[in-house]
Structure 1
Amino acid sequence: MPLAMLLLPVTALAHGGNHDPASPRSLEAWVALPLLCSAFLYATGVARLWIGLAPGRGVALWQAASFGCGWLLLAIALISPVHALAERLFAVHMLEHEILMTLAAPLLVLARPMGGMLWALPLARRRTIGAVGRSRWVSRPWRILVDPPVATLTHGAAIWLWHVPLLFNAALESPFVHGLQHVSFLGSALLFWWSLLRGRARVRGYGAAAFYLFVTALHSGFLGILLSIARSPIYPAQSSDAAHWGLTPLEDQQLAGLIMWVPAGLVYAAATLAMIGIWISKSGTVPIPGGSHAPLSR
């Protein structure tokens, strides 16, 4: 259920093959309207909560800021000049994907926007959606999907399968397939980050979360290296316009690989170090009766 709410603004964020630069698809209403609707729902719900309670109550200020930043990154990736340029350069297309998976997704997960969005709806609708979310038909599959090993495998499979030339080229040719690619990238990233930041990894320990982050950094970095060291373009159609930007198709692909390898790897590394730091700090306490903790040393 939380994933469904997070996906609300992105289920229509598909795009297809090459377009005339005079009419970039970043202006298409079927991309912008879902984003605007999600922002309206969240802002309305949070405003209703804060007016009834107090600013920061119900939805914390940092959560609202996290949603705002995550939403802004979605907009930058999908309805800005970044998106238009991604139609011309593989490197920018890779940057677009990494913004979705390594920046926007964790910020949206931290924000937990479902609660805020629900408060924009009438009470009866909120109760109905809540009941559906608690039903075994939703809660059981959700628990499986956000189990860290499952979520990590799902996200990794999405990354690797969509870089198989057959599927990648199909995404370039078909708007529907390209849309499916974007939804699977962002959807699997939401599952992955949820499993680590909000899911069972916290029960199993921050060390487990650090491990799954490390695994993801390792395999995605390896894919980036493969793209960087290839001796010929793997997806020639994606870089067909690279010469207009002073690049050969191979250089464009190598730059895309470096973006997947280094900047994205740094995000995973930072998250891994954060989890390890929390893990170490938590290990410095021992439980005492009543559920609180006492330091092991002073």
Structure 2
Amino acid sequence: MTSRTWLITGANSGFGRHLSEQLLSRGDRVAGTFRTPGSVDDLAARWPDAFHAAHLDVTDAAEITTVVDKAWADLGRIDVVVSNAGYGLMGAAEELTDDQVVHQIATNLTGSIRLIRAALPHLRRQGGGRILQLSSVGGQVAWPGGSLYHATKWGVEGFADALAAEVAPLGIGVTIVEPGGAHTNFRYGGSVLADRIEAYDATPAAGIRRILTERTTVGIGDPARMATAMIASVDQDTAPRRLVLGSDAFAAMEAALTARLADVRTQRESAAATDKA
């Protein structure tokens, strides 16, 4: 087993925590970032030589650059960058405030882009590496009540798709991770629910509000197994472009992509009719 050094944002909870614990347990080094003070103290105490903690708010562009540069300076080489930090903003589009919209985009989309851009010069100079961009089944499928969350995940997937082709000749692999529902704190605790507008109570957008307030559904995915699959993907050569995790993610993505392709195919002749004669 090859020992590697990883940079993981949001290492204090969810997939970031599972990844960090598994990697440290097997002898890898982890530069893990956190926002909540004290949330990774146990990791630092258990693996004082292998776990390097750093505070990071991914909405702070200057802090991203500082943390990434220091991680490389302290560790010498980082083999894998995991862009994991993010959260869900739920509610009908009209229910969201402008500040909520800005913060969701700054965290999930702009923050991921800035993190990867800060890491690229280091990865390029060292001759390669791997990037894992955490997305979601919600980066390929869109449900009512999650419009802004979907906007960020669809956006980051477009960025990562294009990026993968740009950096492959430099020895840098990019994998978009597509988890389905998992038993983490993302759904209950890691998501923000917008204030209610009564007019939407009888619309499909109300479904996500019921899920988050009633707390009656639990994701079928095992986050530890998902983390293990993410780690295993780094051993694949070449990097898989997408890593689908969970039977629910596979079913939803297959149905959405099939329907989208069928819709496109009905327009073959009408599309060609707009070509220049």
Q: Same fold (TM over 0.5)?
A: no
* CA radius of gyration, larger in: 1
TM-score class normalised by the smaller sequence: under 0.3
TM superposition score normalised by structure 1: 0.25
| Structure ranking higher in strand proportion | 2
| Structure ranking higher in helix proportion | 1
Question: Taking CA–CA contacts closer than 8 Å with sequence separation of 6 or more, which of the two structures ends up with the larger relative contact order?
Answer: 1
